[in-house]
Structure 1
Amino acid sequence: MTPAPTERLHALDAVRGFALLLGVAFHASMSFLPGPQAWIVMDEQRSEVMAVTFFTLHIFRMTVFFLIAGYFGRLLLERRGGGGFIVDRLKRIAAPLAIFWPMVLTGIIAVLVWNTIETMGGIPKNAPPPPAITPTAFPLTHLWFLWVLLLLYPAMLILRGVGKLLDRGGHVARLVDGLIRFLTHSIVGPVLLAAPVALALWLKPDLMAWVGIPTPDQSLIPGPIAATAYGIAFTFGWLLQRQDGLIQAFTRRWALHLLVAIGATAAAYLMVRGTPIFARISDEGMRAGFCALYALAIWTWTFGLIGAALTFLSGHSPVRRYIADASYWIYIVHIPLVMALQVLLRDAPLAWPIKYGLVLLGTLVPALITYELLVRHTHLGWLLNGRRIPWRAKPQVQTQEGIA
C-alpha cells in the first residue's frame, strides 16, 4: 500500500540521488573518450572503459529520473492539492533554474575561455560572435531536465483536468489503470514501453548511435526522441502512483531485468564499438536492431534498478538520505567543476584512472562541503530541498517532497 503521508519511500530517494550523481560520473568520462573530439576538453589519455561507461550511463539514468519524477509529482499533487503543487514546483524547480542557470553558464564560459587560452595561447582576435539565442538555440546546459519538468507538469495537470471533465464515470481511468498494472506486472512490460522509444530512434535516419537519446540541452523545444522517451517515463511514473503499492511489483523480476539490460547494452555497444562518437549507422537492418536493443536496455535497466532498490534499500539510512538531499545541489554545480579539473589534468603525466578519480573526487568533495556549509542549513536548503535543516536538528520523519 502507499506509505502514509509522513513516511518516505527511501528506496526511491536513493535511486533519485543515484541517477543525479551518475551525471557527475557521466560528464567526467567524456574527456577520456577514444576517437575525435567529443567534449570541450579532451585528455591526452583515452580509454575504452570510459567509452563503455559513457555509453551505459546515458542509456538509463535520465529515464529512471523522469519515472521517479512523475511518481513523486503525482504524490505531491495528492498531498498538497493543485495550488500547493504549483507553488511548490515554482519554488523547487522554476526558481533554481532561473537562479542557477546564469551562474552555471558563466562558469562554463569561464572554463571555455581558460581552455582556449591554454590550447591556443590566447583568445583568437577574429573569433566568430556567439550564436544568437533563440527558442531552438538556447544553452540550457545540463539543467535542461528542470526545463523539461516545467513542461511536463502543466501537461499532466491539463490532461488530468480534461480526463476528469470527459470521463466522469471513470471508465477510461479504469482502463488506464489496468494497462499500467499489466505493464508493471507482465514480463513484456519493458518491451512494450520500449517499443515507441525504439520507433522514435529509428525514425531519425541520422541518429548518432553513441549518443542514443539526444538530450535537449541546446533548445527550449525538446526533440521528438527526448519528448517520447522522457514523456513516456514521466507519464508512466505518474500513472503508477495512482495505484497503492503497485510499484512494489518492480521487485519481482529485478535480477532478470538487470541481466537483460546488461545483455542488450553489450549487444548495442558492440554495434558501435570502434566507430566515431558522431557516426551514423548506415545499414538499415543494423540501425533497426540497434534502436530495438537500445530502447529495451533503457526500460530493463529502469525496471531492474528501481526493483533492486525497493528490494534492498527500503529501510532508512541517514547516509543515503543525506546524499539524496545533497544530490540536487551537486548536480547543479558539477559541470563547471568537472570541466575545470579536466583542463587542469589534461596533460598531467598520470594514468587515466587516476585522473578520472581526481576529477570525481575534486568535484564531489567541494560540492558536498558547500552543500553542508551554504545550502543544507540555509534558505538555499529551503529552496532546493523544501526545508532548512537547523544546525542541531532533532531526528524527525520527513515527508517525501524532492525535486522529482
Structure 2
Amino acid sequence: MAADDIKTGERLHGLDALRGAALLLGLVLHGAMAFFPTPIWVVADDQRSVWASGLFFAIHLFRMATFFLIAGLFAHMMLARRGLVRFGINRLARIAGPLAVFWGPSLAAIVAVLIWNAGLQGMTAADAPPPPTYDWTNLPLTHLWFLWVLLIFYVGLVVVRAPFAALDRQGGWGRAVVDRATALLVQPGGAVVLGAPLALALWLHPNWVAFFGVPTPDAGLIPNTPALVGFGLAFGLGALLDRRRDLLERIAARWPLHLGLALAAGATALALAGGPNPRLEPITDPAIKAAAAGAFGVAVYASSLAAVAVAVRFCSGHSAVRRYLADAAYWIYIVHLPLVMVGQVLVQDWSLAWPVKLALIVGGALAASIAGYELLIRHSFMGRWLNGRRVPWRRRPAASAPSPAE
C-alpha cells in the first residue's frame, strides 16, 4: 500500500486483493482434498499424491488466519467511521443475511451431490448409515462457518472496544500502550508472542490432528477453543492495525524476513505433523505434541504476516482484474463447494494426472460461479447487498452521426 493510500483513506488495494485471494484459494484447498494419499474427503479420486496434501497444508496454514486479520482491520475501520448502529446494521445485512439465506441451499446441494456420487459408486439407500441427529452442538455449518465466526468476533470487538474507548477519549493511553504493543507484534518475532496462546490451545485440545492445524469450526454453534483463540487473535491484530496503518508499510518492507520465518516454521510444523502424507491420528507423545503445537502457533501468524507483507508490497496498485475478483470472491466462495464436488465426481475416474484434474475442477467451478456473479449478482440489487455497491451494465455509446463527406 502506498503512503498516499494511508494519508488519503483510499481503498486498500493490497489487502482487498489478499482478502479475495484467501477466499478463492478455498476452491483449490477443497479441490485438492480428493487427491490425498489417504482418502479423507467425500470424493476419493483414483489419482493421489503427497503433493496434493502438501498443497492443502500450505494453503490451510495461513488462509483463514489471514482472512480474519483483514476482516478485523476492516471491521474496526467501519465501526470507527460509521458508529455502532450503522456498523451493526451493515454486518447483519452483509454477513448474517447471506448466512441465513444461503446456508440451507448450500447444505441441500452438498447432500444432493453426495447422494449422486453414492449412486455412481453402486450404493443404495440400504447401504447408507442412519442420518445423525443434529442440535446446536453439531449443526453442520458447512463452508459458511466463517460467517458465523465473524458475527461472534464482531460482537467481541464491540464489547472489548467500548470500555477502552470510554477510558481513553483523549487517545494518550492508547498511543502509549496499545499502539506501541501493536508495533512490536508485527515484527517478525511477534509471531512467537502471538503463537504462544494458540500453541497452548492446540496442545490442550483433545484428539488434535496436527496435520490440519487449527481445527475448522464447521460443526456446532460454539467454535472449538483453538479456532476462537487462533482466528480471534488474528482478528484482534487486524483491528489494532487499523489504528496504526502506517505499520503496513513497515510490514511490507520486511517481507523477506516474514516470508523466511513463515517457510521455516511451516516446514517444521509439517515435519512434526508427519510430513505431507497426512497422519490422521492424534499425536500421543506429549513432548512431540507440544513441539508441533508450538511450531504451528508460530507458523500460522508468521505466514499470515508474510501474506500481508507480500500483498501490500506487490499488489497495492489499482488493478481492474484484481478488483473484479476481489468483488466476486464473496459470491464465489458462498456457492463454490457443491460446484467443486460436482467437478470431483465427474473427473474421479478419468485417466489424467491429478494436477490436470484439479485445474479442471477449480476452473470449472470458477467459471460457473463467475458467470452467476456476472449475470445474477454484480449488476443487480444483490450486488449492493453482498458487495455494498451495484455496478450498472455498460451501455454502448451512441453512434455519432455521419459527416456530410461520408
TM-score of the pair, normalised by structure 1: 0.92
Q: Which runs of 5+ in 1 are unaligned?
A: 395-404
Q: What is the SS of the residue equivalent to 1:124?
A: helix
Matched, 1:45 2:73: no
Matched, 1:239 2:234: no
What is residue 399 of structure 1 aligned with on the other side?
Answer: none
From 33, 45, 62, the equivalent of 2:36 is: 33
Matched, 1:22 2:30: no
What is residue 401 of structure 2 aligned with on the other side?
Answer: none
Q: What is the SS of the residue equivalent to 2:17?
A: helix
What is residue 69 of structure 1 aligned with on the other side?
Answer: 71
Larger mean Cα displacement after TM superposition, 236-245 or 167-176:
167-176
Cα deviation, 1:232-268, whole Å, max 9, x if unaligned, reads: 0001101111124222221121112112211222222
The alpha-carbon deviation at position 81 of structure 1 amounts to: 1.6
The alpha-carbon deviation at position 299 of structure 1 amounts to: 1.2
Report the Cα distance in structure 2 between the residues aligned to 1:90 and 1:274, rounded to whole angstroms: 40
Matched, 1:218 2:230: no
The alpha-carbon deviation at position 163 of structure 1 amounts to: 2.2
AA at the equivalent of 1:40: V
The alpha-carbon deviation at position 165 of structure 1 amounts to: 3.8
Q: What is the SS of the residue equivalent to 1:38?
A: coil
The alpha-carbon deviation at position 194 of structure 1 amounts to: 1.2
Q: What is the SS of the residue equivalent to 1:120?
A: coil
What is residue 260 of structure 1 aligned with on the other side?
Answer: 261
Q: Which runs of 5+ in 2 are unaligned?
A: 397-406
Q: Note closer, same or farther for the CA distance 1:244–1:21 as it changes in structure 2 (3 Å cut).
A: closer
Matched, 1:149 2:150: yes
2:50/2:276 contact within 8 Å kept: no
From 289, 311, 314, the equivalent of 1:309 is: 311
The alpha-carbon deviation at position 383 of structure 1 amounts to: 1.0
Matched, 1:181 2:174: no
From 358, 363, 383, the equivalent of 2:385 is: 383
* Corresponding residue pairs, total: 391
Q: Note closer, same or farther for the CA distance 1:205–1:154 as it changes in structure 2 (3 Å cut).
A: closer
Report the Cα distance in structure 2 between the residues aligned to 1:29 and 1:335, rounded to whole angstroms: 12
What is residue 122 of structure 2 aligned with on the other side?
Answer: 120
What is residue 282 of structure 2 aligned with on the other side?
Answer: 280
Report the Cα distance in structure 2 between the residues aligned to 1:275 and 1:13, rounded to whole angstroms: 34
2:340/2:362 contact within 8 Å kept: yes
Cα deviation, 1:137-175, whole Å, max 9, x if unaligned, reads: 111000000000111101111111222345567565342
Identity %: 47
What is residue 330 of structure 2 aligned with on the other side?
Answer: 328
Q: How does 1:121-136 map to 2 (within 5 A)?
A: 121-124=123-126, 127-136=128-137
2:265/2:296 contact within 8 Å kept: yes
Q: What is the SS of the residue equivalent to 1:308?
A: helix
What is residue 138 of structure 1 aligned with on the other side?
Answer: 139
Rg comparison, structure with higher value: 2
1:113/1:123 contact within 8 Å kept: no
AA at the equivalent of 1:355: K
From 357, 360, 366, the equivalent of 2:368 is: 366
Report the Cα distance in structure 1 between the residues aligned to 2:104 and 2:7, rounded to whole angstroms: 39
CA RMSD of aligned residues (A): 1.9
Matched, 1:11 2:14: yes
AA at the equivalent of 1:380: M
Matched, 1:349 2:351: yes
The alpha-carbon deviation at position 190 of structure 1 amounts to: 1.5
AA at the equivalent of 2:337: I
